[in-house]
């Protein structure tokens, strides 16, 4: 009897479990299978901007000689590699943003869809500007089993990004929906519209030597679209003092932060005009803020004649030193994760006016740009011998004469703005025939190993050679035949 009961129990158990799918059992009720947009968006923004801040600290500022490395000198010495951290991080961010875009489209949330488009284009712009031809149209489609995406040509990528940003502008202008979880622009659709259109201006200026209609497209946007028009419109992530929303460099050890100092190149220019931004960009060499600050710049490059010892650390807004004056005691916020600023947009307008693209006065925009940069950094003119900005502009030797003045002041204003300082220097270098001659405020770095040539691109990560070999090789062949820092991508060919 007991044996029969046991067999009956086994039979019932088999019947019961046979009616349950394995997928139903293999579920964790405590973990959601889908992520809502308001949860996904802040993480995507934070991660992408943090990557940009890191790229600025280690590559962008140093390649443009706004700052200089004092340890691990590859960037300054023009001995570049793939900088794979940025490739991996930004493509990972794009996966989240693509998913966010699909959520928005499915729910008919036009504002959120436009937000995702703009973020996607900003990240792809960083990637293509750094590497050239990249996976784009087939990228981040792993769910469709496309693990070996083709590398699209940079010209196509630019055309598509500009078209997508125009579409985002239309979605924001005529569509509906809200932007929940927005830690960048607080869900303000108009500010996102200004971000997207201003990014279009940046892209058109970057590619103007390769696009026949860059000037007319630029003018149309200026005349018909909303663009950034004050520091209130700055696209920058404002950090707080608590993890995970704190300025990324705060987690560094002091020795790692000290691996970057103010450069002699930028120090010389700032000092020659008594520019009050110097006290924001650098910490005085006596390690604290006094009434008589002194500064020493590090020379970008390598070798015994490239002085790097005793150089001034970066300003208090970028790192908190124990026992030393911090940003809060100076009445200043910690640095922000800048994507695009009002100052940059005014410099874009100034250059467009100087080139005849728009019928505006270039000096008006040039002066507005410098004032915007000064205001953003909350400078004090009096300790530097100036009564106010008007006094500084009129008497510091920076009044507008030609386009070189625009480039020089824009270079200073791009301090800690992602990889943009390097991208702009490379554009100016290209417009001068791929030479530093004709750019009076900067030259090749000291004892570089690249024959005084500015590197034109990042190398492709080595993992691409093994994981996506055929498409990787096509991209190499299309850009000179070697995975080389001097390969000429479409922008600078």
- pLDDT in single tens digits along all 493 residues of the chain: 455 544 444 444 444 444 444 444 445 554 455 678 889 999 999 999 999 999 999 999 999 999 999 999 999 999 999 999 999 999 999 999 999 999 999 999 999 999 999 999 999 999 999 999 999 999 987 555 678 999 999 999 999 999 999 999 999 999 899 999 999 999 999 999 999 999 999 999 999 999 999 999 999 999 999 999 999 999 999 998 777 889 999 999 999 999 999 999 999 999 999 999 999 999 998 777 887 889 999 999 998 888 777 899 999 999 998 889 999 999 999 999 999 999 999 999 999 999 999 999 999 999 999 999 999 999 999 999 999 999 999 999 999 999 999 999 999 999 999 999 999 999 999 999 999 998 999 999 999 999 999 999 999 999 999 999 999 999 999 999 999 999 999 999 9
Flag whether 8 is in a domain. no
**Helix (H/G/I), strand (E/B), else coil: 327:** coil
Cβ neighbours around 490 below 10 Å, total: 18
Cα–Cα nearest to 492, from 426, 436, 416 = 426
248 domain-assigned:
no
Specify the CATH number for the domain of residue 380: 1.25.40.390
Domain containing 86 equals 46-234+337-492
Contact 372, 233 (CB under 8 A): no
Cβ 263 vs Cβ 66: under 8 Å: yes
In a domain, 329, yes or no: no
Enter the tokens of residue 324. Answer: 């030393």
> Residue 119 domain-assigned?
yes
pTM for the model: 0.92
155 belongs to a structural domain: yes
- How many other CB atoms are found less than 10 A from the CB of residue 437? 9
Q: Is residue 425 part of a domain?
A: yes
What phi, psi does 135 have (nearest 5°)? -60, 125
Q: Is 380 within the bounds of a domain?
A: yes
Residue 12 falls inside a structural domain = no
CA distance 344 to 167: 23
Determine the number of helices (DSSP H) and then strands (DSSP E) in the chain: 19, 6
Number of structural domains, the chain?
Answer: 1
H-helix or E-strand containing 417?
A: none
- How many Cα atoms occupy the beta-carbon half-sphere of 472 within 13 Å? 15
């Amino acid at each position: 009897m007991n044996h029969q009961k046991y067999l009956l129990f086994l039979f019932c158990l088999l019947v019961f479990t046979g009616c349950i799918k394995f997928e139903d059992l293999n579920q964790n009720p405590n973990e959601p299978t889908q992520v809502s947009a308001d949860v996904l968006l802040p993480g995507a923004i934070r991660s992408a901007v943090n990557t940009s801040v890191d790229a600025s600290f280690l590559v962008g500022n140093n390649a443009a000689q706004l700052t200089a490395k004092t340890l691990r000198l590859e960037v300054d010495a023009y001995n570049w590699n793939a900088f794979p951290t940025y490739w991996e991080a930004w493509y990972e961010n794009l996966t989240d943003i693509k998913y966010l875009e699909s959520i928005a489209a499915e729910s008919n949330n036009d504002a959120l869809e436009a937000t995702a488009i703009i973020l996607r284009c900003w990240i792809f712009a960083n990637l293509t500007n750094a590497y050239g031809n990249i996976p784009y149209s087939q990228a981040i489609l792993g769910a469709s089993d496309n693990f070996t995406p083709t590398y699209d040509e940079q010209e196509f990528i630019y055309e598509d990004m500009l078209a997508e940003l125009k579409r985002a502008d239309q979605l924001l202008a005529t569509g509906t929906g809200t932007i929940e979880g927005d830690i960048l622009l607080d869900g303000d659709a108009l500010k996102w519209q200004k971000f997207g259109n201003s990014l279009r201006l940046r892209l058109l200026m970057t590619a103007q030597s390769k696009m026949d209609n860059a000037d007319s497209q630029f003018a149309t946007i200026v005349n018909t679209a909303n663009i950034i028009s004050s520091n209130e419109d700055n696209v920058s992530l404002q950090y707080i003092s608590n993890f995970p929303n704190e300025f990324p460099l705060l987690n560094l050890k002091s020795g790692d932060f000290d691996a970057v100092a103010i450069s002699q190149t930028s120090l010389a220019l700032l000092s020659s005009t008594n520019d009050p931004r110097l006290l924001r960009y650098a910490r005085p060499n006596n390690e604290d803020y006094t009434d008589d600050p002194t500064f020493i710049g590090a020379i970008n490059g390598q070798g015994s004649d490239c002085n790097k010892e005793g150089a001034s650390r970066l300003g208090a807004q970028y790192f908190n030193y124990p026992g030393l004056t911090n940003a809060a005691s100076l009445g200043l916020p910690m640095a922000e994760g800048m994507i695009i600023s009002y100052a940059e947009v005014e410099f874009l307008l100034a250059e467009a006016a100087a080139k005849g693209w728009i019928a505006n006065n270039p000096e008006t925009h040039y002066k507005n740009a410098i004032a915007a940069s000064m205001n953003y950094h909350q400078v004090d003119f009096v300790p530097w011998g100036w009564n106010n900005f008007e006094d500084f502009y009129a008497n510091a030797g920076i009044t507008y004469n030609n386009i070189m003045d625009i480039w020089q002041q824009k270079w200073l204003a791009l301090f800690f703005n992602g990889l943009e300082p390097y991208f702009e220097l490379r554009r100016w270098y290209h417009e001068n025939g791929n030479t530093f001659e004709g750019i009076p405020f900067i030259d090749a770095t000291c004892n570089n190993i690249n024959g005084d040539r500015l590197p034109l691109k990042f190398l492709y990560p080595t993992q691409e050679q093994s994981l996506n070999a055929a498409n990787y090789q096509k991209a190499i062949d299309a850009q000179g035949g070697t995975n080389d820092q001097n390969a000429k991508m479409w922008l600078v060919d």
